[in-house]
Each structure stands twice: as structure tokens, then as C-alpha cells.
Amino acid sequence: MDIQEIKQRFGIIGNAPELNRAIEVAIQVAPTDLSVLISGESGVGKESFPQIIHNFSHRKHAKFIAINCGAIPEGTIDSELFGHEKGSFTGALTDRKGYFEMVDGGTLFLDEIGELPVSTQVRLLRVLESGEFIRVGSSQVQKTNVRVIAATNVELTKAIREGQFREDLYYRLNTVPIKVVPLRERSEDVLLLFRKFASDFAEKYKMPPIRLTDEAQQVMLNYRWPGNVRQLKNITEQISIIELSREITAVDLIHYLPADHVEILPALYDKMLDEKTFSSEREILYKILFDMKKDMTDLKKLVHELMPENAGTKIHDDNDQLIRKLCRDSEVDFASSQSAYPTSVILKSSKHEDIQDTEEFFEESLSLEDKEIEMIRKSLNKHNGKRKLAAHELGISERTLYRKIKEYNIE
């Protein structure tokens, strides 16, 4: 069975290389009895991978049980996992088998393993190392043959440093690690997932599927999706039910996105432009260039006002020094202003003449592509080649910056 058939069978949507690699690792480790630790943020779809591992293992005809460790109260989790004897605590009216006893020969998926109490972690480590456990309230050692697959959305190494998770248990669980990347790191799958969810909800609620305008698609691609696939699915369902129009604009979509996570969305112009969304990063850069040009004009006027009436002829180097000082005072980068707007300012005066501001303008390229390349180069130089910081300054995603570096062959 190839990887596409596996995705279809287990309801996995996406073609990102990181997602495909995680599925390949799950298939490779399935025939073994090694413990697997699946890590990833909440909502990325970690629950699909234990099912893949179980169904491609020799235990596929035995039981598979998934347990959310964070949903079981601390006082009863030992009883849930290992069972208890009658009378061992208040309310224990009969003997009870635990999951390790019931799933003997099968697979036990422990989700949110980081929520396990430390005392339970000691019991779990013993089961993993020797296959032995003891019911609560009993002294009889029992054997079990269970494959354990664990998952977590917290950083266990940090929990170890804080004394909340045992280091020996971590290494015992982490025999084979599988990392499921967040949705923001596989943005090429966002629109694919949206179309799938929109189609599913259209069929469920007996209505035409919703579709996104080009601007709305750009908002989708630039949003961080802190809730990952789960959040995308919920928002798609909300829009499908609430919106009367089946064509969703960027303004419509932003109403459904939490305000705390919209810092990298494409900027919306003010109401004078009818709240139209910028269609591309190039328009954003173009606006920045115009703002910079206005700043330079204001600086030159300030230079003219500060020059005394009886000043002698000022050469270009003196002007540069003065502009540098003004740039520092006004927090404007001198080098970027000089290269972005190649103008030469010469101030002339004499005893009998008023100061004149003569500007010699050179023709400059108005190509948006050239300006975009220039802005990318400057941002990369400013941050010593660190793409993440450069992308944040430019207001685009790191993946988009990487694509543009390759497209323009920027060194």
C-alpha cells in the first residue's frame, strides 16, 4: 500500500514533505514492538499515527485502546491503567481490570502523556521495562504484553528540567520519535484542507460549498493557525453555516479569526480604499517605498531650514554628514535612504544670495520586482542572513521569503 492509499484510508489530508516523512516512519516502525513517542502541537492530527502503527503491526487483530491521560483524575488514573482490588479504596466495590490487563497482546495509545502524575510514571516505566504491573490494593505481580504508543503536545525535555516528568521514562518512550509539524509549517496544505472540509460540510448540511476569493486565500496562507487542523476545520464549519454568500472575501474571513493571532496577515488599507486587501507582498513593499520617499523629502526640507543664511558653499560630503545626523535623530536608516532614492542635494549660498536648494534627480527603476529584490537584500543584510527575522520585518512568511530567494537567485 503506497502513502496516498494510507492517507485516504486514515483520513490524512496534505502533501507536505514533513507530513509524508512522519507517515513513512510510522509504517517502518509498525512491524516492530518498539515504543513510539509522537510529538506535536494540539490539533495537528497526532491521533492518526497510532492507528497506522497498530494496523500495520502483527497486533492488528488484537485490541487497540486510546486513553487521554489529561482527562482522567489523578486519584483514579492508577486504577484505570493497572486495575484495582475490591476494597482497596472507597468506592472499590468489586475487582476491576485495568487497561494494561484488558489490552494484553494489543496496543495502548496514551495521549497527553505529559499529564501523567509522577507516581504513575514510575508504574508505567516498570511495565515498559519488564511487562509487569500490580493492581491497586494488591501485592500480586501480573504480566502483560502491550505495545505502548505515547503522544504529547508539551515539550517533555522542559518538563524534565522542571521535575514534572521522569527522564528515564522519556528515553524509554522515545525509542522512535515521530514529529508532526504544525499547520503553519506546511502552508501548502491549508487550501487543500479547506476545500476538503468545505465539501464535507456542504454535503452534511445540504448546501453549496463555500469558496474563497484570491484575497481570502492569501489571508488563509498568512494566518498562523495556532489551533492547527482542528481550528481550520471548526472555522470552515462556522463559515459554511453562518455566511449566506458562498463566496468568502478576506474581510468576511478575518471576522472568524481570533484577533490575537492576526499580526502577520496582509495589511488592509484604510476605508478610503474601500477596505480592499493587498493582493501580494509586492504592493506592501511598494507602499513602504513611498513612505520612505516622503521621509527623505521631509529630511531635505529640514536641512534647508537648519542652514544659516550666511553659510558658504556646502559640498556634497558636508551634506551627507548633516543628513546622517538627522537620520540618527529621526531613526531613519541613512544607507537605505541613499540607495532607495539616489538623489544628490547641493546647497549653495553667498553673501548676496539667498540659500537655494537645488536637487538633481537621476532616473531610477520603477520595477516592482527590482524594488522587492532590493528590500529582501537589505533585510537579509540587516539581520546577518537570518531569514526568520528578515521575513518578520518584511511582513511575509519564512517559507514565502525562501521561495522568493530561490526565484530571484538572491545570494
Are 121 and 200 members of one domain? no
**Is residue 275 in a domain?**
no
Q: Which of 177, 155, 175, 144 is nearest to 63 (CA)?
A: 144
Residues 6+ apart with CB under 8 A from 97: 83
Q: How do residues 119-159 score in pLDDT, each as one tens digit?
A: 999 999 999 999 999 999 999 999 999 999 999 999 999 99
Are 126 and 194 members of one domain? no
Mean pLDDT in residue range 210-226: 95
Are 35 and 158 members of one domain? yes
CATH number at residue 199: 1.10.8.60
SS3 per-residue string spanning the chain: CCHHHHHHHHCCCCCCHHHHHHHHHHHHHCCCCCCEEEECCCCCCCCHHHHHHHHCCCCCCCCEEEEEHHHCCCCCHHHHHHCECCCCCCCCCCCECCHHHHCCCCEEEEECHHHCCHHHHHHHHHHHHHCEEECECCCCEEECCCEEEEEECCCHHHHHHCCCCCHHHHHHHCCEEEECCCHHHCHHHHHHHHHHHHHHHHHHHCCCCCEECHHHHHHHHHCCCCCHHHHHHHHHHHHHHHCCCCEECHHHHHCCCCHHHCCCCCCECCHHHCCCECCCHHHHHHHHHHHHHHHHHHHHHHHHHHCCCCCCCECHHHHHHHHHHHHHHHCCCHHHHHHHCCEEEEEEEECCEEEEEEEEECCCCCCHHHHHHHHHHHHHHHCCCCHHHHHHHHCCCHHHHHHHHHHHCCC
pLDDT at residue 358 greater than cutoff 50 = no
> 182 vs 314, which has greater pLDDT?
182
Are 177 and 259 members of one domain? no
> Residue 337 has what pLDDT?
46
CATH number at residue 375: 1.10.10
Query: If pLDDT is split at 50, 70 and 90, which confidence band does 336 have?
Result: very low
> Residue 150 has what pLDDT?
97
> 336 vs 87, which has greater pLDDT?
87
Mean pLDDT rounded to a whole number for the chain: 82
pLDDT at residue 366 greater than cutoff 60 = no
Query: If pLDDT is split at 50, 70 and 90, which confidence band does 109 have?
Result: very high
> Residue 347 has what pLDDT?
40
Are 162 and 224 members of one domain? no
pLDDT at residue 94 greater than cutoff 80 = yes
> Residue 257 has what pLDDT?
92
Q: How do residues 174-189 score in pLDDT, each as one tens digit?
A: 999 999 999 999 999 9
In terms of pTM, does the model score above 0.95?
Answer: no
**Terminal-residue alpha carbon distance, the chain:** 42
> Residue 186 has what pLDDT?
93
> Residue 36 has what pLDDT?
97
Range of the domain at 323: 281-361
CATH number at residue 95: 3.40.50.300
Are 264 and 304 members of one domain? no
Q: How do residues 244-285 score in pLDDT, each as one tens digit?
A: 999 999 999 999 998 755 544 444 444 333 444 444 455 566
> Residue 344 has what pLDDT?
41
Are 123 and 192 members of one domain? no
Q: How do residues 65-77 score in pLDDT, each as one tens digit?
A: 999 999 999 889 9
> Residue 323 has what pLDDT?
52
- Beta bridge pairs of residue 151: 38
> Residue 271 has what pLDDT?
39
Contact, 7 vs 145, CB < 8 A? no
